[in-house]
Amino acid sequence: MAAKRIDGKVISAAVLDRCAAEVAALKEKNIEPCLAVILVGEDPASQVYVRNKQRACERIGVRSFTIQLPADTDQQTLLDEVAKLNADPAVHGILCQLPLPRSLDERQLLLAIDPKKDVDAFHPVNVGQITIGSAKLLPCTPAGVMEMLRYEGIEVEGKHCVVLGRSNIVGKPMALLLLQANGTVTICHSRTPNLAAYTRQADILVCAVGKEKLITADMVKPGAVLIDVSINRNAEGKLCGDVDFDPVSEVASAITPVPGGVGPMTIAMLMQNTITAAKQQSGLI
Protein backbone atom coordinates (compact mmCIF):
# COMPACT_ATOMS: atom_id res chain seq x y z
CA MET A 1 0.00 0.00 0.00
CA ALA A 2 1.33 3.43 -0.93
CA ALA A 3 2.44 5.74 1.86
CA LYS A 4 0.18 8.47 3.18
CA ARG A 5 1.12 11.87 1.74
CA ILE A 6 1.66 14.39 4.53
CA ASP A 7 0.13 17.55 3.10
CA GLY A 8 2.03 20.64 4.22
CA LYS A 9 -0.53 22.95 2.63
CA VAL A 10 -3.34 21.56 4.78
CA ILE A 11 -1.28 21.55 7.98
CA SER A 12 0.14 25.03 7.40
CA ALA A 13 -3.40 26.34 6.81
CA ALA A 14 -4.40 24.92 10.21
CA VAL A 15 -1.40 26.62 11.84
CA LEU A 16 -2.23 29.93 10.16
CA ASP A 17 -5.86 29.69 11.33
CA ARG A 18 -4.59 29.18 14.86
CA CYS A 19 -2.21 32.12 14.45
CA ALA A 20 -5.03 34.37 13.18
CA ALA A 21 -7.04 33.61 16.33
CA GLU A 22 -4.02 34.43 18.50
CA VAL A 23 -3.46 37.72 16.65
CA ALA A 24 -7.11 38.68 17.10
CA ALA A 25 -6.85 37.99 20.85
CA LEU A 26 -3.67 40.11 21.09
CA LYS A 27 -5.30 43.01 19.24
CA GLU A 28 -8.07 43.00 21.85
CA LYS A 29 -5.27 43.75 24.34
CA ASN A 30 -3.97 46.56 22.06
CA ILE A 31 -0.98 44.48 20.95
CA GLU A 32 -0.43 44.39 17.18
CA PRO A 33 2.27 41.86 16.22
CA CYS A 34 4.66 43.36 13.68
CA LEU A 35 7.30 41.73 11.46
CA ALA A 36 10.04 43.75 9.76
CA VAL A 37 11.87 42.18 6.82
CA ILE A 38 15.19 43.44 5.46
CA LEU A 39 15.91 42.55 1.84
CA VAL A 40 19.32 43.38 0.41
CA GLY A 41 19.73 43.28 -3.37
CA GLU A 42 17.52 42.00 -6.19
CA ASP A 43 17.78 38.21 -5.86
CA PRO A 44 14.58 36.89 -7.54
CA ALA A 45 14.18 33.89 -5.23
CA SER A 46 14.56 36.10 -2.15
CA GLN A 47 11.93 38.49 -3.50
CA VAL A 48 9.49 35.59 -3.95
CA TYR A 49 10.13 34.39 -0.39
CA VAL A 50 9.55 37.88 1.00
CA ARG A 51 6.28 38.26 -0.93
CA ASN A 52 5.08 34.91 0.43
CA LYS A 53 5.89 36.05 3.98
CA GLN A 54 3.98 39.29 3.43
CA ARG A 55 0.94 37.36 2.18
CA ALA A 56 1.03 35.13 5.27
CA CYS A 57 1.18 38.22 7.50
CA GLU A 58 -1.84 39.72 5.71
CA ARG A 59 -3.76 36.47 6.09
CA ILE A 60 -3.40 36.31 9.87
CA GLY A 61 -3.51 40.06 10.60
CA VAL A 62 0.15 40.67 11.44
CA ARG A 63 1.50 44.07 10.40
CA SER A 64 4.58 43.75 8.21
CA PHE A 65 6.87 45.97 6.19
CA THR A 66 9.98 45.44 4.10
CA ILE A 67 13.13 47.53 4.09
CA GLN A 68 14.63 47.18 0.61
CA LEU A 69 18.35 47.95 0.41
CA PRO A 70 20.53 48.00 -2.73
CA ALA A 71 23.01 45.17 -3.34
CA ASP A 72 25.96 47.51 -2.77
CA THR A 73 24.81 48.42 0.77
CA ASP A 74 27.77 48.49 3.18
CA GLN A 75 27.90 46.57 6.46
CA GLN A 76 27.46 49.58 8.73
CA THR A 77 24.34 50.78 6.89
CA LEU A 78 22.81 47.32 7.31
CA LEU A 79 23.71 47.22 11.01
CA ASP A 80 22.24 50.72 11.49
CA GLU A 81 18.92 49.51 10.04
CA VAL A 82 18.93 46.56 12.43
CA ALA A 83 19.69 48.86 15.36
CA LYS A 84 16.67 51.06 14.50
CA LEU A 85 14.39 48.02 14.40
CA ASN A 86 15.83 46.68 17.67
CA ALA A 87 15.00 50.01 19.33
CA ASP A 88 11.45 50.24 17.92
CA PRO A 89 8.97 48.82 20.47
CA ALA A 90 6.31 48.49 17.75
CA VAL A 91 8.47 45.93 15.88
CA HIS A 92 8.35 42.45 17.43
CA GLY A 93 10.14 40.38 14.79
CA ILE A 94 13.14 41.11 12.58
CA LEU A 95 14.04 38.92 9.64
CA CYS A 96 16.89 39.56 7.22
CA GLN A 97 16.37 37.54 4.05
CA LEU A 98 19.39 35.32 3.35
CA PRO A 99 21.65 34.88 1.51
CA LEU A 100 23.22 38.34 1.68
CA PRO A 101 25.47 39.73 -1.07
CA ARG A 102 28.99 38.35 -0.65
CA SER A 103 30.34 41.74 0.42
CA LEU A 104 28.35 41.56 3.67
CA ASP A 105 29.13 39.60 6.85
CA GLU A 106 26.16 37.36 7.62
CA ARG A 107 27.48 36.29 11.03
CA GLN A 108 27.87 39.89 12.21
CA LEU A 109 24.32 40.62 11.07
CA LEU A 110 22.84 37.67 12.97
CA LEU A 111 24.67 38.76 16.12
CA ALA A 112 23.24 42.29 15.77
CA ILE A 113 19.56 41.26 15.86
CA ASP A 114 17.99 41.39 19.32
CA PRO A 115 17.52 37.70 20.32
CA LYS A 116 13.95 38.46 21.46
CA LYS A 117 13.14 39.76 17.95
CA ASP A 118 15.08 37.01 16.14
CA VAL A 119 12.14 35.19 14.53
CA ASP A 120 14.48 32.96 12.50
CA ALA A 121 16.06 31.76 15.79
CA PHE A 122 19.57 32.03 14.32
CA HIS A 123 21.13 34.19 17.06
CA PRO A 124 23.62 32.25 19.25
CA VAL A 125 21.54 33.06 22.34
CA ASN A 126 18.51 31.37 20.78
CA VAL A 127 20.63 28.48 19.49
CA GLY A 128 21.83 27.98 23.08
CA GLN A 129 18.25 28.05 24.37
CA ILE A 130 17.28 25.42 21.79
CA THR A 131 20.21 23.26 22.91
CA ILE A 132 19.14 23.29 26.57
CA GLY A 133 15.46 22.90 25.72
CA SER A 134 14.18 26.27 26.98
CA ALA A 135 13.68 28.15 23.69
CA LYS A 136 10.56 30.21 23.03
CA LEU A 137 11.61 30.93 19.42
CA LEU A 138 12.39 27.85 17.31
CA PRO A 139 14.02 27.58 13.85
CA CYS A 140 11.09 27.67 11.45
CA THR A 141 11.77 24.61 9.26
CA PRO A 142 12.58 22.11 12.05
CA ALA A 143 9.66 23.48 14.10
CA GLY A 144 7.46 22.98 11.04
CA VAL A 145 8.54 19.34 10.78
CA MET A 146 7.66 18.76 14.45
CA GLU A 147 4.26 20.40 13.87
CA MET A 148 3.63 18.04 10.93
CA LEU A 149 4.46 14.98 13.03
CA ARG A 150 2.13 16.17 15.82
CA TYR A 151 -0.69 16.93 13.39
CA GLU A 152 -0.41 13.46 11.84
CA GLY A 153 -0.25 11.76 15.24
CA ILE A 154 3.22 10.35 14.52
CA GLU A 155 4.88 9.54 17.83
CA VAL A 156 8.57 10.48 18.14
CA GLU A 157 9.21 9.06 21.61
CA GLY A 158 11.14 5.81 21.47
CA LYS A 159 11.61 6.00 17.69
CA HIS A 160 14.96 5.90 15.91
CA CYS A 161 15.16 9.25 14.09
CA VAL A 162 17.87 9.66 11.45
CA VAL A 163 18.65 13.19 10.25
CA LEU A 164 20.57 13.59 6.99
CA GLY A 165 22.37 16.94 7.04
CA ARG A 166 24.14 18.97 9.73
CA SER A 167 23.43 22.59 8.75
CA ASN A 168 22.83 25.19 11.43
CA ILE A 169 19.47 26.03 9.84
CA VAL A 170 17.95 22.54 9.58
CA GLY A 171 20.09 19.52 10.43
CA LYS A 172 21.44 20.40 13.89
CA PRO A 173 18.27 22.01 15.33
CA MET A 174 16.14 19.23 13.80
CA ALA A 175 18.17 16.65 15.70
CA LEU A 176 17.79 18.64 18.93
CA LEU A 177 14.00 18.96 18.61
CA LEU A 178 13.64 15.23 17.91
CA LEU A 179 15.86 14.51 20.91
CA GLN A 180 13.70 16.74 23.11
CA ALA A 181 10.67 14.75 21.94
CA ASN A 182 12.43 11.63 23.29
CA GLY A 183 13.52 10.25 19.95
CA THR A 184 16.80 8.35 19.62
CA VAL A 185 18.69 10.46 17.12
CA THR A 186 21.44 9.71 14.61
CA ILE A 187 22.92 12.49 12.46
CA CYS A 188 24.45 11.59 9.09
CA HIS A 189 26.26 13.87 6.66
CA SER A 190 28.46 13.98 3.57
CA ARG A 191 31.33 12.18 5.34
CA THR A 192 29.17 9.35 6.70
CA PRO A 193 30.29 6.01 5.16
CA ASN A 194 27.66 3.45 4.13
CA LEU A 195 24.73 5.84 4.51
CA ALA A 196 22.18 3.13 3.74
CA ALA A 197 23.18 1.19 6.86
CA TYR A 198 21.82 4.10 8.93
CA THR A 199 18.81 5.04 6.83
CA ARG A 200 17.51 1.45 6.91
CA GLN A 201 17.33 1.68 10.71
CA ALA A 202 15.25 4.87 10.72
CA ASP A 203 11.66 4.88 11.95
CA ILE A 204 11.62 8.58 11.06
CA LEU A 205 14.01 9.77 8.34
CA VAL A 206 14.51 13.51 7.83
CA CYS A 207 16.39 14.41 4.64
CA ALA A 208 18.02 17.83 4.35
CA VAL A 209 21.00 17.34 2.03
CA GLY A 210 20.04 18.87 -1.31
CA LYS A 211 20.76 15.94 -3.62
CA GLU A 212 18.11 14.61 -6.00
CA LYS A 213 17.15 10.94 -5.52
CA LEU A 214 19.67 10.49 -2.71
CA ILE A 215 17.25 8.19 -0.88
CA THR A 216 16.07 5.21 -2.90
CA ALA A 217 13.52 2.56 -1.91
CA ASP A 218 16.17 0.00 -0.91
CA MET A 219 17.54 2.48 1.67
CA VAL A 220 14.24 2.76 3.57
CA LYS A 221 12.91 0.62 6.40
CA PRO A 222 9.41 -0.71 5.61
CA GLY A 223 6.83 1.46 7.36
CA ALA A 224 9.21 4.37 7.99
CA VAL A 225 8.11 8.02 7.98
CA LEU A 226 9.97 10.12 5.38
CA ILE A 227 10.29 13.90 5.86
CA ASP A 228 11.92 15.52 2.81
CA VAL A 229 13.11 19.05 3.63
CA SER A 230 15.22 19.69 0.52
CA ILE A 231 14.18 21.58 -2.60
CA ASN A 232 16.12 20.67 -5.75
CA ARG A 233 15.43 20.98 -9.47
CA ASN A 234 15.68 17.88 -11.65
CA ALA A 235 16.87 17.70 -15.26
CA GLU A 236 13.40 18.74 -16.48
CA GLY A 237 13.48 21.79 -14.20
CA LYS A 238 10.81 20.42 -11.85
CA LEU A 239 11.06 20.82 -8.08
CA CYS A 240 12.00 17.69 -6.18
CA GLY A 241 13.52 16.67 -2.87
CA ASP A 242 16.19 14.22 -1.74
CA VAL A 243 13.82 11.24 -1.83
CA ASP A 244 13.01 9.19 -4.95
CA PHE A 245 9.35 9.80 -4.22
CA ASP A 246 7.31 7.20 -6.12
CA PRO A 247 9.38 4.07 -5.33
CA VAL A 248 9.92 5.14 -1.70
CA SER A 249 6.16 5.73 -1.33
CA GLU A 250 5.67 2.00 -1.86
CA VAL A 251 7.87 1.23 1.19
CA ALA A 252 7.22 4.07 3.65
CA SER A 253 4.08 4.51 5.79
CA ALA A 254 4.00 8.31 5.40
CA ILE A 255 5.95 10.78 3.25
CA THR A 256 6.10 14.51 2.54
CA PRO A 257 5.97 15.57 -1.12
CA VAL A 258 8.16 18.24 -2.74
CA PRO A 259 6.70 20.74 -3.37
CA GLY A 260 3.77 20.99 -0.97
CA GLY A 261 5.34 19.29 2.03
CA VAL A 262 7.67 21.00 4.49
CA GLY A 263 7.94 24.23 2.46
CA PRO A 264 4.59 25.79 3.47
CA MET A 265 5.30 24.94 7.11
CA THR A 266 8.37 27.16 7.28
CA ILE A 267 6.38 30.36 6.69
CA ALA A 268 3.59 29.19 8.99
CA MET A 269 6.06 28.71 11.84
CA LEU A 270 7.60 32.12 11.10
CA MET A 271 4.16 33.58 11.77
CA GLN A 272 3.97 31.59 15.02
CA ASN A 273 7.40 32.92 16.05
CA THR A 274 6.31 36.51 15.34
CA ILE A 275 3.29 36.06 17.61
CA THR A 276 5.42 34.41 20.30
CA ALA A 277 7.91 37.30 20.11
CA ALA A 278 5.06 39.82 20.49
CA LYS A 279 3.74 37.97 23.54
CA GLN A 280 7.20 37.74 25.09
CA GLN A 281 7.97 41.43 24.58
CA SER A 282 4.56 42.37 25.97
CA GLY A 283 5.17 40.37 29.14
CA LEU A 284 2.45 37.81 28.41
CA ILE A 285 4.85 34.83 28.46
Return all residues near 33 (Cβ < 8 A) that are at least 6 apart: 23, 26, 62, 63, 92, 93, 274, 275, 277, 278
Q: Where are the extended beta strands (E) located within the chain?
A: 4-5, 34-40, 63-69, 93-96, 160-164, 184-188, 204-207, 225-228, 232-233, 239-240, 254-255
Taking the whole predicted model, whether its pTM rises above 0.85 is answered as: yes
Give the whole-angstrom CA distance, residue 63 versus residue 92.
10
- Domain spanning 140-264 has what CATH number? 3.40.50.720
**Full pLDDT tens readout for the chain, 285 residues:** 789 999 999 999 999 999 999 999 999 999 999 999 999 998 888 888 899 999 999 999 999 999 999 999 999 999 999 999 999 999 999 999 988 999 999 999 999 999 999 999 999 999 999 999 999 999 999 999 999 999 999 999 999 999 999 999 999 999 999 999 999 999 999 899 999 999 999 999 999 999 999 999 999 999 999 999 998 998 888 999 999 999 999 999 999 999 999 999 999 999 999 999 999 999 999
Q: Which residues are catalytic?
A: 53, 97, 120
**Under CATH, what is the fold of the domain 30-123?**
Rossmann fold (3.40.50)
All CATH 3.40.50.720 domain ranges of the chain, comma separated, are 140-264
All CATH 3.40.50.10860 domain ranges of the chain, comma separated, are 30-123
Pairing of strands 225-228, 232-233: unpaired
